[in-house]
Structure 1
């Protein structure tokens, strides 16, 4: 199959599962897949999702994959598949700058185990993707790189901090990307950009070889074109012998025996009408697939955002203590202020927050997650905001809006539980609306099974944004 045909065959080029199977089966050459991805990246410079393309390196790897395939050797299930990753995952000798001025020119001497696992399975890394500076921000703004756009509507936020990962997959520059999630930074850009994202259980995937923020809460994970694609990537990333894709079955959409809980407070309060209607429809879809959907009683969530801040903020401040003192002006203003706030959290407050986290986990596991296999919530209470409402010039309402964006994701990061984001419709402007499925630790297979069933029943992932404004 030529590069021209691949570029025009959306059914293959736009879906990670279809493209990886075509590559492994020899129906598509790795060179054509990589050239098509590079062409898509170059075609939308106004999206600002890509920091740097490694064209020479990616094409060299593609040619190597094609030579190996001709000799009867396939590296793994991702043989020849082009991917790109948030600019915080190390590749030995390659630039990793974490969306910052502080790390400008940083070239690590080792590779992230996650990147290494993907590449061992045959994936080809084509470049580095936009991110919030040091992963501090949920909107896609960056004082040094400029703002990452939303492929569905340029003036809207892309979500963050894995902004480039969400936007690049949403625009189908690539069909999968690594992101990180300390408070929602995989789920938000995935859902906001109309694709699927998985925050795994804390500790399931190694955190070595990636930029640190909060050693207690940091979690790496994939963003991809579907829950099945996430399952394929997670099988490679986890390297624990679990075939997450096999757990999805053959796409029968049968969720019989699964109980899905609707929280009785916090997550379903003050929803915008469009969000509430989409969530009701999502619950109906899951019930139609055989799941039992019921209301569950939630423990008090009022303190969870504070507990999270009293953990991640002082941990992040410690990471940046030396450079913040030596080079304060090389940080963006908002990032610098957040780190300075973290430095003011004393040791007693931090220790108390860790104990409160343990109690909150126990309350969730003994309460709603004992009553239901999964919880269903919206990703955000309101439709995707415009970027202008969360910029510094937006005034006092800005901080409240930023807090609201991650209000339903940050508690789950604080608890360390796995969660999945996937589309549940579109608002009146045509921007994606997303649901969030939450599970107990190591419930990834169940999350992906439910996400896959919803995606197959609704077809929301078949819609594509108009990228012409970004050309």
Structure 2
């Protein structure tokens, strides 16, 4: 049951508006922080967006910001602004659990690079937001903390793995949050919660101090309620960092200067085959996307169709790279403490032991070709748009299998193409379905051109008001999260079982019967995924993982 939200203007202040009030002294950092802390501890408790709330530390930081601003020591647009940090980033003064039983009492004693930059910009850190275990998988009910709920309907999934960040923004608990994106973990919660999230170019934001899942794909980025606010956050956290091997020494532009309010001269390609032929998207989401494209045209953009490689090719490459790397990273813990992980995490990562070296290398080689193909398509356009996830499924609905059990899948994934390419991608809300849940659009641009993605998102949001809508506050009793049952496993012949057992033995995994069953369930799909990779005739195609010596 939901009730009308109280008129709490501070809950819905964005960074840009809030900063203006802070500088004119109409609002103080302490007032803003106190209001949000009260909200988090009140109605926000039903959302389960925060794993750790540092109320005392936040108020101390807000008082310090207030004194500095009063002295004329202005650190920029984040100075005095309350922010949240996904609990996959290390924090010196707060726990970092990665939403895992393995790290329940972990205090790293240092900040991740992006957190350090947020502090240097004067942000008031409120606490750590919920994620999925090690930023992977779907919502779990077998971990010490419950999954974050979707503020638009608490029975529905908030997306992941930056689930708490997306939910906190949508619920008016915080105006800004850090997220990470390996296979869609900024874009999915932004889409399902109706907020704005940017996966920057791979290498644009340092991942030093962020727990790794798949280093070839892991990306950190901003989440807020508008493209304009994401631009302000990105300005603070972008830039080269020698502590991150993937960090690129590329100049950081003035992102806010790019937000000119129109799209004259911008060529936008629409990738329709992703959601019209390869994957049948929700009709209401498609209608909302068509309206959004019309709005982009009204802003001055030239709209044209564009075709990329099949989405399934990107999906297979992404999963094989991601899960092989994740299995390698967590191998020791899986051998020693598999029971400490949640079942959802195990069901995704354990089958990584089935991916042979040749398939991993082939996936990296194919990634290079797919990325080159996408780069070539940008000779025709300045940006591409396609549909994003949504509306959000119920936790207990069969369609939630796409999130909960669908990683090793024979279905293509809408997020995978831009994870594989590493190109910047902005997710924005395009409207609401008849059930009241958000729909979304992905805006993709060339490497290092986040400015154009933000410009398009800002122009769209200047013409529409979807990003300004917010849900009602929760009220009444709330049922515990109940997850859908997994689909039945495919029957396996003895040769398949023998192959699986040999892989498990080679990996030195001593699993329970239920844990082995997770690998058995994924194995036929792993086999088909590897087969779909095919062969590359050109032996000169190098893996995308080739590195450059300094």
Shorter chain as normaliser: what TM range? over 0.9
Instruction: Could you tell me which runs of 5 or more consecutive residues in structure 1 were left unpaired when the two chains were aligned.
Output: 1-6
Aligned match of 1:457: 463
After the TM superposition, which residues 69-468 of structure 1 pair with which residues of structure 2 at under 5 Å, given as runs?
A: 69-138=69-138, 143-239=143-239, 240-249=251-260, 253-269=261-277, 270-367=280-377, 369-380=378-389, 383-389=391-397, 399-400=405-406, 407-468=413-474
Question: How many angstroms apart in 2 are the aligned matches of 1:405 and 1:228?
Answer: 34
SS at match of 1:79: coil
1:139 and 1:431, CA in 2 relative to 1: closer, same or farther beyond 3 A? Answer: farther
Shift of the alpha carbon at 1:69? 2.3
Asked if the contact 2:348–2:408 (Cα under 8 Å) also holds between the matched residues in 1, the reply is no
Asked if the contact 2:11–2:173 (Cα under 8 Å) also holds between the matched residues in 1, the reply is no
Question: How many angstroms apart in 2 are the aligned matches of 1:396 and 1:69?
Answer: 48
SS at match of 1:424: strand
Question: How many angstroms apart in 2 are the aligned matches of 1:104 and 1:12?
Answer: 30
Question: How many angstroms apart in 1 are the aligned matches of 2:115 and 2:421?
Answer: 26
Instruction: Could you tell me which runs of 5 or more consecutive residues in structure 2 were left unpaired when the two chains were aligned.
Output: 1-5, 240-250, 478-550
Q: Say which is worse superposed, 336-345 or 212-221, in terms of deviation.
A: 336-345
Asked if the contact 2:191–2:428 (Cα under 8 Å) also holds between the matched residues in 1, the reply is yes
Asked if the contact 2:130–2:162 (Cα under 8 Å) also holds between the matched residues in 1, the reply is yes
What is the TM-score normalised by the length of structure 1? 0.92
Question: How many angstroms apart in 2 are the aligned matches of 1:63 and 1:390?
Answer: 48
Question: How many angstroms apart in 1 are the aligned matches of 2:77 and 2:227?
Answer: 16
- CA offset digits 1:367-420 (Å, max 9, x no partner): 3x221111111102x5321111269xx889963499699811122111111101
Aligned match of 1:47: 47
- CA offset digits 1:49-77 (Å, max 9, x no partner): 01111011111111111122222222332
Shift of the alpha carbon at 1:14? 2.5
Shift of the alpha carbon at 1:343? 2.3
1:140 and 1:36, CA in 2 relative to 1: closer, same or farther beyond 3 A? Answer: farther
Which has the larger Rg?
A: 2
Instruction: Name the Cα RMSD after superposition.
Output: 2.2
Total equivalences in the alignment = 458
Asked if the contact 1:166–1:189 (Cα under 8 Å) also holds between the matched residues in 2, the reply is yes
What is the TM-score normalised by the length of structure 2? 0.79
Question: How many angstroms apart in 2 are the aligned matches of 1:283 and 1:140?
Answer: 36
Aligned match of 2:541: none
Question: How many angstroms apart in 2 are the aligned matches of 1:396 and 1:364?
Answer: 26
Aligned match of 1:3: none
Question: How many angstroms apart in 2 are the aligned matches of 1:438 and 1:197?
Answer: 12
Q: Say which is worse superposed, 382-391 or 61-70, in terms of deviation.
A: 382-391
Shift of the alpha carbon at 1:462? 1.6
